[in-house]
């Protein structure tokens, strides 16, 4: 490799620089130089011609005009074509690359469709079923990564000396702790109230279980943390804790209680701890900052990672609030109703504020799969979920990306609707670990 890739363009905009940085800094690791003077091009270095001009050297990608729009949320209709057996959109007249690859990557990474489409569920969330990728059965594929893997041989054919950075499969094992314990560490009023509710509904099993945990030292069914630790030795594990005030959708133990504080401190010795901003915090930056302060006081250090409760994202405001509160990495970029890649990639990328037309330093880690999606939204059994996990891991492995899984501690409790799901988790851990430790397949 003789130097960064040269990109020739008549336009120099924040949107174009954002997508070029993702492709050439993050994905290929080679860097880029954006140039507008033909005479300054170096014929010994790879050139991509992103213009309507014909150059004697380089690979031509014809702009569709999308990245030059004043309002990037006013995107054109997305009609799919085929390019080297890959679905693509923003068709143009290019020969080797017959679509505006830069615009297509930007469209997915920036989540442009979420700014204009009004479809939302009853929690105000943008679902997989609202996406253009879902309409074409592409939501479960890391399409951006596939395009860039397909672009690589095109570049290397013209510029054999181009060698990108080596990509390796990575697994990040994450947990949301919405309710730390089913019965333990609850105040007397909450405990008595819960018992009364169980009796009112003739749920005697719950009453006996609650009494056994409280007075006979029986294990709490939601206390799955030792089990998780035993299976997750050596992997990158993160826990996100809900510390909001109690509300209809926020029902964790009190942030001031000794039991929850001790659990957070214990887990912080073997995993990274992040904030799980409450359902109510999505309405108020002040509530978000208060919850982050609670976790900071428990940990005694800054809190820099987050994932939204219920995966509630309202773009761009949710991310603006996180940035203002000092969050550096967010793990909410995923769907609730399906596994899949909401921003079209399994490669971490930065948030681009479409309304302000500026790149930010908030790094987004795309979620691949959440167990609740399969159980609650798709109605799958544990046995039916296993091949879905295998497919998700294989999709990420095929482009050597980052596989991010989301589980909840109660999902591993082997109680109620979650009976049998430990087998799914163990399958995922085994397969992801083997992919993680087998670079020979990279």
The predicted-structure confidence for 147-169, as pLDDT tens digits, reads as follows: 999 999 999 999 999 999 999 99
| HSE-CB for 225 with a 13 A CA cutoff | 21
What CA–CA distance (Å, rounded) separates 17 from 20?
A: 5
The span from the first CA to the last CA of the chain, in angstroms, equals 20
What CA–CA distance (Å, rounded) separates 363 from 109?
A: 12
Check the CA dihedral 226-228-231-237 and report its sign: negative
Tell me the per-residue pLDDT of 299-311, one tens digit each, with 9 for 90 and over: 999 999 999 999 9
Q: What is the DSSP letter of 411?
A: G
Q: Can you give the pTM of this predicted structure?
A: 0.93
Tell me the per-residue pLDDT of 382-405, one tens digit each, with 9 for 90 and over: 999 999 999 999 999 999 999 999
pLDDT of 196 reads 64
Token pair of 284 as six digits: 């108020």
In angstroms, what CA-CA distances link 35 with 9, 39, 164?
Answer: 6, 10, 21
Percent of the chain with pLDDT over 70: 90
Q: What is the DSSP letter of 27?
A: I
What CA–CA distance (Å, rounded) separates 247 from 260?
A: 18
Q: Report whether pLDDT(114) > 70.
A: yes
pLDDT range class, residue 441, cuts 50, 70, 90: very low
Determine contact, residues 41/57, Cβ cutoff 8 Å.
yes
Token pair of 49 as six digits: 């011609």
pLDDT range class, residue 182, cuts 50, 70, 90: confident
Stated as kind and residue range, the H or E segment containing 216 is helix 204-216
Token pair of 261 as six digits: 């504080």
């Amino acid at each position: 490799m003789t130097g960064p890739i040269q990109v020739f363009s008549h336009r120099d905009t924040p949107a174009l620089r954002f997508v070029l940085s993702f492709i050439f800094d993050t994905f290929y690791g080679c860097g880029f130089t954006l140039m507008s003077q033909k005479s300054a091009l170096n014929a010994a270095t790879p050139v991509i011609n992103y213009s309507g001009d014909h150059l004697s050297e380089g690979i031509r990608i014809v702009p569709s005009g999308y990245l030059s729009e004043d309002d990037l949320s006013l995107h054109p209709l997305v009609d799919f074509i085929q390019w080297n057996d890959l679905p693509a959109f923003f068709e143009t007249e290019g020969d080797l690359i017959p679509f505006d690859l830069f615009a297509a990557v930007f469209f997915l990474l920036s989540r442009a469709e979420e700014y204009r489409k009004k479809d939302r569920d009853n929690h105000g969330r943008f679902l997989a079923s609202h996406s253009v990728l879902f309409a074409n059965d592409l939501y479960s594929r890391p399409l951006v990564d596939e395009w860039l893997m397909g672009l690589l041989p095109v570049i290397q054919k013209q510029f054999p000396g181009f060698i990108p950075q080596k990509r390796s499969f990575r697994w990040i094992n994450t947990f949301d702790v919405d309710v730390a314990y089913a019965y333990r560490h609850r105040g007397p009023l909450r405990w008595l109230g819960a018992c009364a509710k169980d009796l009112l509904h003739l749920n005697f099993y719950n009453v006996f279980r609650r009494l056994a945990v409280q007075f006979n030292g029986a294990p709490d069914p939601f206390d799955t943390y030792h089990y998780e630790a035993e299976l997750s030795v050596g992997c990158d594990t993160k826990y996100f804790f809900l510390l909001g005030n109690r509300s209809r959708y926020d029902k964790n133990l009190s942030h001031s209680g000794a039991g929850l504080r001790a659990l957070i401190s214990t887990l912080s010795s073997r995993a990274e701890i992040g904030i799980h901003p409450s359902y109510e915090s999505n309405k108020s930056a002040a509530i978000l900052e208060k919850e982050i302060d609670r976790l900071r006081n428990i940990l005694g250090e800054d809190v820099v990672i987050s994932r939204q409760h219920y995966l509630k994202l309202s773009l761009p405001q949710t991310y603006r609030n996180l940035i203002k509160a000092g969050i550096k990495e967010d793990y909410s970029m995923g769907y609730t109703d399906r596994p899949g890649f909401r921003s079209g990639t399994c490669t971490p990328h930065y948030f681009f504020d479409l309304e302000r037309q500026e790149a930010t330093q908030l790094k987004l880690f795309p979620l691949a799969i959440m167990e609740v999606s399969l159980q609650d939204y798709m109605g799958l059994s544990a046995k039916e979920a296993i091949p879905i996990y295998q497919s998700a891991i294989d999709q990420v492995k095929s482009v050597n990306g980052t596989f991010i899984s989301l589980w909840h501690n109660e999902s591993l409790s082997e109680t109620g609707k979650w009976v049998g799901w430990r087998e799914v988790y163990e399958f995922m851990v085994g397969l992801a670990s083997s992919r993680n430790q087998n670079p020979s397949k990279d």
